[in-house]
Homo-oligomer: A and B are copies of this chain.
Amino acid sequence: MLFNFFPKDVNFFDLFEKQVEHAVSAAKHFKEVVSKGKINQESLEKMQSIEHQGDDVAHDIMNQLDKSFITPFDREDIHALVKELDDVIDMINTIMSRLVVYRVTGIDKNLVEFSNVIEDSVLALACAVKGMRNKKNSKSVSESCVEVNRLENVGDTMRDAMLGKLFETEKDPIAIIKWKEIYQDAETVLDICEDVAHVVRSILVKHA
């Protein structure tokens, strides 16, 4: 028999899971595209479709929230969770469309590296979010959040090293403009993942 974290409200947890799964799809698709080093119309549209599906779930949750008297945890926390998860997907989508708009072509090893860390972080986030259903997962949820924080630090260091090298070796200012923004954007995805983890952890604390 399971001991529940919160008063049972299957819908919300199902919806959170659905939303975080879209974030996972976005991260996986991003990694795939970046590893191939070329973005065609099809892969762009696939990302946009993931983003739209994520939006739909976010709207569903907000609508449920307006209609529900009882929610598994504080409304503000649900709101923050949904918003930050949505921002994760949006930011990945933004990078992808920037790669197209900035006319970036070819494989960039740094970006491949970043896409791996982003995937790891979003996967850890998925563990955390899915674990919230049940109080017995409290320890593993907390560990996943710690992992997300760790990966944000990894990303910080990566970005600084990449930018440092860029300013040291790249002589083409237009390339600097492009890559500086893209590496910073990639790190921003990890920042937002950390924000999600932060919300999850504060929910955990309140319901401990």
| A residues with CB within 8 A of B | 66, 97, 100-103, 160, 163-164, 167-168, 173-174, 176-178, 180, 205-206
Per the bound structure, the CA–CA distance linking A178 and B166 in Å amounts to: 12
Q: Which residues of B contact A178 (CB under 8 A)?
A: 167
Q: Which residues of B contact A173 (CB under 8 A)?
A: 173-174, 177
New A-B contacts (4) at CB < 8 Å, excluding given A101-B167, A102-B167, A174-B176: A66-B205, A101-B160, A173-B174, A173-B177
Q: Which residues of B contact A66 (CB under 8 A)?
A: 205-206
Contact of A102 among B102, B103, B163, B174 (CB under 8 A): B163
Chain B's closest residue to A180 (CB) is B177
Please determine whether B206 and A167 come into contact, CB atoms closer than 8 angstroms: no
Per the bound structure, the CA–CA distance linking A173 and B180 in Å amounts to: 14
Per the bound structure, the CA–CA distance linking A66 and B202 in Å amounts to: 9
Please determine whether B168 and A103 come into contact, CB atoms closer than 8 angstroms: yes
